[in-house]
Structure 1
Amino acid sequence: MASNDPIVGFHFSVIFELVPQFSIDTKFQSVGGLKVTMETESYTEGGQNRFKHNFPLRSGYQDLVLKRGLTSDLSGLSMWCNQALESFVFYPANLVVSLLNENGNPVKVWYVSHAIPISYEFSDFNAEENKIVIETITLRYNFFKELPVPNF
């Protein structure tokens, strides 16, 4: 049943169209970068000094940033990133980002097309702090679109 309540953003999943993919490859601390903006071109009309006309040119998409705690588990996603960034062998992947309800069912779903890794980093190691090491993967992609989710 549909609800008018705002959706919370702490229960989500990320699923890559990658082989191999392991359990760790769907678990993330945060996902950021689902953002689209419109590039415009300004045109100054002769005799009109109050404003400029702005014409839309094309959409632009922000990089997708995925963060998770580093584990010793085997990760297909890490292997994919290393293959691209170390060996310069790129295999674009599609992925699905889903916001989930309390039962684990998707309430909002976004399809991200043709993603490639452009950055792979680890948080600082510090002997004076007892913090989890965070693995950050930055992806560049062509576009995203929201997919319809049937209401049950």
Structure 2
Amino acid sequence: MAKAPVAGGYYPPVGFHFKVEFVGIGNDNDIRFQSVAGLTVEYDTESFKEGGENRFEHKLPLRTKYPDLSLKRGMLTDSKVIKWCLDALQNREFKPAQINVILLNEEHQPLKTWNVYNAWPKKWSVSDLNAQDNSIVIETLELSYNYFTVN
């Protein structure tokens, strides 16, 4: 099927076609998530006041900081990722992992990959259970990590 021409020849990728790989941990179901949040990097800064310059302060970059990674999905009853998470949260067996968040195109080929290093589970939560709602149970993983690279 031919694609319709797009003004400027470029059409931005969609944000709903992605997978999350837990290197060496997950199974086929563990790549499916509803949402990924926290792929952000920013610099801490230090202000420097220059003598005689009253119009502004210099801001100098110090170190980068990365917020926690938040992953949401419908709860799985047989998940190696949740076993890895619970080993850390219940047994204090922390085994940092590499996680790859991969944005896919319409042919399911990688467009962009975020390689998240030394991730470990900080929090696991399950949505409220309510007999009056007709909704699936959502589990949320919050992971701390050192840094990520983008390919």
| TM-score of the pair, normalised by structure 1 | 0.90
2:89 to 73, 85, 91: 85
**In the aligned structure 2, how far is the partner of 1:24 from the partner of 1:138?**
18
| TM-score of the pair, normalised by structure 2 | 0.91
Name the residue aligned to 2:4: none
1:127 to 125, 128, 131: 131
Identity %: 48
Aligned ranges for residues 20-59 of structure 1 at < 5 Å? 21-59=26-64
**In the aligned structure 2, how far is the partner of 1:126 from the partner of 1:47?**
64
Please, which runs of 5 or more residues in structure 1 have no aligned partner? 148-152
Q: How many residue pairs were aligned?
A: 143
Determine if contact 1:18/1:76 at 8 Å carries over to the other structure: no
SS at match of 2:88: helix
RMSD: 1.1
**In the aligned structure 1, how far is the partner of 2:71 from the partner of 2:94?**
18
Residue 102 (structure 1) shift: 1.1
1:102 to 100, 103, 106: 106
Q: Which residue identity does 1:57 align to in structure 2? A: L
**In the aligned structure 1, how far is the partner of 2:102 from the partner of 2:76?**
23
Q: Which residue identity does 1:128 align to in structure 2? A: Q
